[in-house]
């Protein structure tokens, strides 16, 4: 097995991104949240008044909304939210040159492999440390074609009209309690604009790192893909392991215009003390394609359901999702597709693995509005359970208000078959190798869609997590 040989040579810490840097920041708000902190964040960012008003309205809505009673266990979150820092500013500005990033932060990202990744000819790279993007760069080739890849703050400063036209239109403040919270305290994230007809042949990549203990990260990303444009965006997330809980709540809004094509890939590998409650939604216009590729491996609890609103005729949405719930983890993930126009198509493929007392939940929606004639949607969920204490749930909502539509959902739950293991062991594999192979085979249809370095990463993780799972 060449792959397992490869893995043998690697340092298999349980969580290799768990290292901590000493705290360093130029400014941070006091722990907890009140209106003065919302005003303070806005002041720090020297925002126009409309944005302050937006934040204040959001804060009111956030306070009025009850904690969700569905999904994961949020009973300890209220207490966590009283203790965390909602805004931590690591440096004065977003740097354009890697050389200008402070050494300490630079070292962190180097350990996470960022300059390396950049060498692999990415179109652009952004890196968020605590609450701010510390680094953002875009290759000149793309900048000259009018592509914008900025921190969200620079997006607001430099492209105010474009920004205001789309900001908060895909995900309204009141969508859910955490979209309201993000709208009140957002900081960091990317502003992306791909002009008409421009085809990016390499991805834009963003890294999110939380270093500070008891930290809340609230990035906000707005992506506008103009007619006929093509692009791919990749985000990766990691954090140190602390004994206290941290919180991440992003809002990602995407507009994919006529004939455009966009893929958003997430490899979430937060440490196991992180609440990860994210709202991601794309509006997909005529004949455009939106693809979410969502890998949830880390965190204590993730609640995340990327969605596609298929608003134009012939629009297509695809959601591919992998979830791994190890000991103490709950991955409550899935996807939503809303068919609001004729001949729209969608597909959701979800694969989850639960190990020990890990719990993975698929929660999804497929809605076909009246008039969305000729729409088709297919949902497939497969869950693999490793131990007798593992748990999986499937909650698909199917709502069809149009006769000329075909919607199908299927889900299966299984364990790794003894016959499969027996066969592979007879072929000379150890039990653990056999288990790893079966699990990789299970994930393969989605894993093959991942960028190479992430596919390797996923394999490595599976290898590591399957150790000692047999017996």
Partner 1 sequence: MVEQKDPKDWTRVATLDQCLPGNLFGVQVGSLKIVLANVDGTIYALEDQCSHQDLPLSDGYLEDDQVECIYHGARFNICTGTATSLPAIKPVATFNVDIRGGDIYVQSVE
Partner 2 sequence: MADNSTYHSWLNEKRSHAWSVYQSTPTPTTKSEEWRYTDLAKLFPLEQITLEMGLVDSTQRPNREDLIEATNTAGRIQLTDGLVTNIQVDPAVDSQGVGLDSIQNTTHEKYQEIIRTNLCSHVLPPESGKFQALNAALWKDGVVIYVPKNVHVKMPIRGKHTLSTGNSAVCARTLIIAEEGSHVSYVEEFHSDDFSNKSMVSSSVEVVAHRNASVDFVSVQNLGRGIFFQVAQKSLVHRDACVNTLNVNLGSSLSRLDLNTRLLEPGANSKMLGLYFGDKDQHFDHNTSQDHLAPHTRSDLLYKGALDGNSRAAFRGIIRVHSGAQQSDAYQTNRTLLLSEQARADSLPNLEIEADDVKCSHGSTVGQLDPETIFYLLSRGFSRQQAERLIVLGFLGDVMTKLPHGAFRRVVKNVTDAVEQKLRHG
Residues 110-129 that bind partner 2 (CB under 8 A): none
Interface size with partner 1, residues (CB under 8 A): 19
Choose which of 45, 106, 257, 281 interacts with partner 1 (CB under 8 A).
281
The answer to whether residue 434 forms part of the interface with partner 2 (CB under 8 A) is: no
- Residues 6 or more apart in contact with residue 436 via CB below 8 angstroms: 4, 462, 463, 466
Choose which of 323, 337, 340, 450 interacts with partner 1 (CB under 8 A).
340
The answer to whether residue 404 forms part of the interface with partner 2 (CB under 8 A) is: yes
Choose which of 338, 349, 353, 385 interacts with partner 1 (CB under 8 A).
338
CB-side neighbour CA atoms (13 Å) of 118: 19
Site stretch for partner 2 (CB under 8 A), options 102-110, 185-193, 298-306, 386-394: 386-394
Choose which of 152, 170, 251, 303 interacts with partner 1 (CB under 8 A).
170
Tell the smallest beta-carbon distance from residue 67 to partner 2 (Å).
15
What is the pattern of x (binds partner 1, CB under 8 A) and - over residues 356-395? -------------xx-------------------------
Choose which of 8, 82, 92, 399 interacts with partner 2 (CB under 8 A).
399
Tell the smallest beta-carbon distance from residue 415 to partner 2 (Å).
5
The answer to whether residue 229 forms part of the interface with partner 2 (CB under 8 A) is: no
The answer to whether residue 73 forms part of the interface with partner 2 (CB under 8 A) is: no
Nearest to 255 by CA among 266, 264, 265: 264
The answer to whether residue 280 forms part of the interface with partner 1 (CB under 8 A) is: no
- The residue among 48 and 374 lying less far from partner 2, judged by its C-beta, is 374
Question: How distant, in Å, are the alpha carbons of 129, 138, 212, 299 from that of 245?
Answer: 18, 34, 11, 10
- The residue among 77 and 372 lying less far from partner 1, judged by its C-beta, is 372
Tell the smallest beta-carbon distance from residue 392 to partner 1 (Å).
26
The answer to whether residue 391 forms part of the interface with partner 2 (CB under 8 A) is: yes
- The residue among 57 and 373 lying less far from partner 2, judged by its C-beta, is 373
The answer to whether residue 169 forms part of the interface with partner 1 (CB under 8 A) is: yes
| Binding-site ranges for partner 1 (CB under 8 A) | 61, 64, 169-176, 179, 281, 283, 309, 311, 338, 340, 369-370
| Binding-site ranges for partner 2 (CB under 8 A) | 70, 368, 370, 383, 385-415
């Amino acid at each position: 097995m060449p792959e397992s040989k490869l893995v043998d040579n690697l340092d298999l810490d349980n969580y290799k991104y768990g290292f901590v840097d000493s705290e360093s920041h130029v400014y941070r708000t006091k722990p907890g949240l009140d209106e003065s902190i919302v005003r303070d964040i806005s002041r720090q960012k020297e925002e126009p008044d409309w944005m302050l008003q937006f934040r204040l309205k959001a804060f009111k809505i956030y306070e009025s909304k009850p904690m969700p009673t569905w999904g994961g266990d949020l009973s300890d979150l209220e207490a966590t939210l009283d203790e965390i820092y909602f805004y931590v500013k690591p440096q004065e500005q977003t740097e354009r040159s890697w050389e200008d990033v402070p050494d300490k932060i630079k070292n962190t990202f180097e350990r996470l492999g960022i300059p390396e990744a950049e060498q692999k000819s990415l179109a652009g790279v952004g890196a968020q440390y605590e609450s701010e993007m510390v680094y953002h760069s875009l290759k000149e080739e793309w900048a000259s074609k009018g592509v914008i890849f900025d921190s969200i703050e620079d997006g607001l400063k430099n492209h105010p009209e474009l920004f205001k036209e789309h900001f908060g239109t895909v995900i309204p403040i009141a969508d859910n309690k955490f979209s309201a919270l993000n709208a009140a305290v957002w900081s960091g994230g990317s502003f992306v604009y791909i002009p008409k007809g421009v085809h990016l042949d390499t991805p834009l990549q963003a890294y999110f790192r939380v270093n500070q203990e008891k930290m809340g990260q609230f990035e906000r990303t707005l992506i506008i893909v103009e007619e006929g444009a093509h692009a791919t965006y990749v985000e990766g997330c990691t954090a140190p392991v602390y004994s206290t809980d941290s919180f991440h709540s992003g809002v990602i809004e995407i507009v994919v215009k006529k004939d455009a094509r966009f893929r958003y890939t997430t490899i979430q590998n937060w440490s196991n003390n992180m609440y990860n409650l994210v709202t991601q939604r794309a509006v997909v216009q005529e004949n455009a394609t939106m693809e979410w590729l969502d890998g949830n491996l880390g965190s204590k609890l993730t609640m995340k359901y990327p969605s596609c609103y298929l608003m134009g005729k012939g629009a297509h949405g695809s959601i591919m999702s992998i979830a791994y719930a190890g000991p103490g983890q709950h991955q409550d993930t899935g996807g939503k597709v809303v068919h609001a126009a004729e001949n729209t198509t969608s597909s959701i493929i979800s694969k989850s693995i639960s190990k020990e007392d890990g719990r993975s939940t698929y929660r999804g929606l497929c809605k076909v509005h009246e008039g969305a004639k000729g729409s088709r949607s297919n949902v497939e969920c497969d869950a693999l359970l490793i131990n007798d204490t593992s748990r999986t749930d499937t909650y698909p909502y199917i709502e069809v208000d149009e006769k000329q539509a075909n919607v199908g959902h299927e889900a299966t739950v299984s364990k790794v078959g003894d016959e499969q293991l027996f066969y592979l062991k007879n072929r000379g594999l150890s039990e653990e190798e056999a288990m790893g192979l079966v699990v990789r085979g299970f994930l393969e249809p989605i894993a093959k869609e991942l960028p190479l370095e992430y596919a390797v990463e996923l394999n490595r993780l599976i290898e590591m997590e399957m150790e000692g799972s047999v017996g």
